[in-house]
A = this chain, B = another copy of it.
């Protein structure tokens, strides 16, 4: 059961059993029902999750409206990274889009491991670098591409799975446009 998480971590760095055993006792399995929260705006996020089944969305509230800016899928880590790093209340909420099964552990355990173990400290660096690369790529898309180009890029990416089971207005938010605008883009594409 917890081996799924171990396998994921080992995509970044090989773990000896002694490394894994440092984390293992702090793992727990939890379930979050559709529309329930993993993390909530205004509250510090102190947990790291790993999605075993289901998916979640990451959103801001602006002028009373929710703007979805990220999705988390199976076999991926989920957390309010910014809140974990700063220790401050989260600016965003993370909500389950479907009933979701997670493995969770406290962020404080991870920082503890950073100090105790070279392997874990390195993992912390690699994951931060990985996140930075993802953000850099997404930001470039926002600066350099039109909304239509971004949508095409999304369709052509390995994130296609986003499209399978996620309402379109969330995807529109993710692309930085309105749902109406996305609908027009899709319409235009059909006509070609």
Chain A interface (Cβ within 8 Å of chain B)? 60, 62, 67, 69, 81-82, 85-86, 91, 114, 118, 121-122, 124-125, 128-129, 131-133, 135-136, 138-140, 142-144, 173, 176
Are A67's CB and B143's CB within 8 A? yes
Q: Are B82 and A143 in contact (CB under 8 A)?
A: no
Subset of 16 A-B contacts with CB under 8 Å: A69-B140, A69-B143, A82-B133, A85-B129, A85-B132, A114-B122, A118-B118, A128-B129, A131-B132, A132-B135, A135-B136, A138-B139, A139-B139, A139-B142, A142-B143, A142-B176
Question: How far is A135 from B121 in the complex, measured between Cα atoms in Å?
Answer: 22
Taken together, the copies of this chain in the complex come to 2
CB distance from A44 to the nearest CB of B (A): 15
* CB-based contact A136/B81 at 8 Å: yes
- In the complex the two chains form, what is the Cα distance from A91 to B140 in whole Å? 11
Instruction: Return chain B residues, CB-CB under 8 Å to A136.
Output: 81-82, 135
**CB closest residue in chain B, given A137:** B82
Residues of B contacting A140 with CB < 8 Å? Answer: 60, 69, 91
Residues of chain B within 8 A of A139, CB atoms compared: 69, 135, 138-139, 142
- Apart from A62-B144, A121-B122, A128-B129, list 10 A-B contacts with CB within 8 A: A69-B139, A69-B143, A81-B136, A82-B133, A85-B129, A125-B125, A128-B132, A139-B142, A142-B142, A143-B173
Give chain B nearest CB distance to A110 CB in angstroms.
11
Specify which of A69, A86, A125 lies most central, judged by the most chain B CB atoms within 10 Å of its CB.
Answer: A125
Specify the chain B residue showing the minimal Cβ separation from A128.
B128
